[in-house]
Amino acid sequence: MIKAFRERHDHVVQRLNRIRGVRCLPAQGAFYAFPDFRAAIAAGGFANDVALAEHLLNQVGVALVPGSAFGADGFLRLSYATSMQTLDEALNRIERLLGAA
């Protein structure tokens, strides 16, 4: 399982960094990525991370947790404790909405 989660982590971080306005640093042992969406929020005209999270859920069916819930405005939390297929579908949807870098 450790190897599987490392592979998912690395894949998710790489994919997130290919999305326009998103920057993601590697996690330190968590089951989620915590990418910076501030540039995407500004470029898309969203008020904040909550507005972007709501838009992602309503428009493309991807649920991310706003970072403001953790004191990190402009960041969104994405769990990678799911299948690679599910992760790729979610990341494809986010990328279609925000565009590639």
Domain ranges of the chain: 2-98
Residue 28, CA distances (Å) to 22, 32, 68 in order: 19, 10, 20
pTM of the shown model = 0.94
Predicted local distance difference test score (pLDDT) of residue 56 = 98
To which CATH superfamily is domain 2-98 assigned? Aspartate Aminotransferase, domain 1 (3.90.1150.10)
d(CA 101, CA 87): 19
3-53, pLDDT tens digit by residue? 999 999 999 999 999 999 999 999 988 899 999 999 999 999 999 999 999
Confidence at 101, pLDDT banded by 50, 70, 90: confident
Predicted local distance difference test score (pLDDT) of residue 1 = 84
